[in-house]
Amino acid sequence: MAIEHLKQSKPEAEKKEEDAKVRSVVEATLADIEKRGDAAVRDLSKKFDGYEPEAFRLSQSEIEAAMQKVSTRDMEDIKFAQTQIRNFAEAQRASMTDIEVETMPGVILGHKNIPVQSVGCYVPGGKFPMVASAHMSVLTATVAGVPRIIASAPPVNGEPHPAIVAAMHMGGAHEIYVMGGIQAVGAMAIGTETIDPVHMLVGPGNAFVAEAKRQLYGRVGIDLFAGPTETQVIADETVDAEMCATDLLGQSEHGYNSPAMLITNSRKLADETLVEINRILKIIPTAETASASWENYGDIFVCDTYKEMLQVANDTAYEHVQIMTDRDDWFLENMHSYGALFLGPRTNVANGDKVIGTNHTLPTKKAGRYTGGLWVGKFLKTHSYQKVTTDEAAALVGEYGSRLCMLEGFVGHAEQCNLRVRRYGGKNVPYGQAAE
């Protein structure tokens, strides 16, 4: 049994060096936003986007004007996608119920699922205006019942992107801003003179946006670390090289540092996929970014067995995992670390990215080991409560609580329990001693 690393991406040390540079830039930029507020946001927008509007927040008339630029066909497609995403999000929300149970006579415990009170949704729009990200964040937050949803995307060609604005508005955004990159997530999280800070940041983005979210985590909540995008193809000889190469390069075009990985048990398929990738890179319009990603962040593993393929997949915990084998359901049953699975050749990552209904904001950089992707539940906080309705229960639980507190040396804690034993149980417990 052996695992051959047929094609390797650049060394981890080089990747870490790039990450360090990003980290430094983000730290300085966030500090500037905190110090100078709107002035910093305006300077950054001018520098990176060449955009200096009177106000970064769109008025209702500006929203309507942008939406009028969207073609009827595009608007129908956006509505179709939002219907699919809303339907699945509503089904997910229905699976989350409040509970209240009487665990013993007179003791009632429960929990409530309460929406986060304000959310900032970032929608990428640099090289590619990611209209679908508005559905995934804004619409899902709406289904969760978030009372204040603000959304921001960078300008495209010096103005708000019409389809992104339409998707944000139709998804339920209460405030729409035209800001990109670090300045967008920084302004939403930290707040400025004109933007009230939010409680949570969500949405994908490039390495700088992902790092900004990481540094802001704790000050605000975040959905997860999402970006740059990753794609993995797990395939055997039930599919051909064209299918594998197309699915690998479909995500590589996102940017110069988008990892793509093929895991197979067929050396023949691996070799043919390499040939097919070279062919496609000669004709795809986004070859400049796709080829850079594949050269520096592309990997191919050739394994002897399906178990080895599963091991590599779980160890690498990629964001998008396209599975095309004679045992797709076996992988579904046994995989435990990933962003989302795409099972069988009839579906693909682009379906999930744009229209099918599952959310496309997913964990990257092995975060799939400890979290799933963005979903309606990310916008909900589960809070517990308790109440004691009888004197007998108050005294009984108080006696146990008193002794357990004293076991740990917490006299003040014990007295909280003792007071209930005295008042509701009629027992004279000496101060600072455990109840009998």
| Closest C-alpha among 387, 409, 392, 400 to residue 418 | 400
Binding residues: 122, 183, 206, 229, 251, 254, 320, 353, 408, 413
320 as an active site residue: the answer is yes
The verdict on whether 319 is a catalytic residue reads yes
Peptide bond between residue 228 and the one before it cis (omega within 30 degrees of 0) = yes
Q: Write the Ramachandran bin of 109: left for phi over 0, alpha for psi from -120 to 50, otherwise beta.
A: beta
232: left (phi over 0), alpha (psi -120 to 50) or beta: beta
The neighbour count for residue 52, using CB atoms within 10 Å, is 11
Q: Rounded to whole angstroms, how far apart are CA atoms 282 and 274?
A: 13
Q: Which residues are CB-neighbours of 363 under 8 A, at least 6 positions away?
A: 224, 225, 226, 317, 319, 339, 371, 372, 373
Q: Which residues are annotated as a binding site for Zn(2+)?
A: 251, 254, 353, 413
Record the tokens describing residue 214, joined without a space.
Answer: 């990481």
Residue 318 pairs with which residues in a beta bridge? none
Distances (CA, A) of 135 to 117, 138, 314: 19, 6, 29
Rounded CA-CA distance 88/92 in Å is 6
Q: Spot the catalytic one: 276, 319, 399, 415.
A: 319
**H or E element at residue 303:** strand 298-303
- Angle 55-26-161 from CA coordinates, rounded to 5°: 40
- The answer to whether 137 and 201 have CB atoms below 8 angstroms apart is no
The catalytic residue among 161, 169, 320, 360 is 320
Please tell me the distance from the alpha carbon of residue 222 to that of residue 290, in angstroms, as a whole number: 29
Q: How far is CA 248 from the centre of its chain?
A: 21
Q: Which residues are annotated as a binding site for NAD(+)?
A: 122, 183, 206
Q: Active-site residues: which are they?
A: 319-320
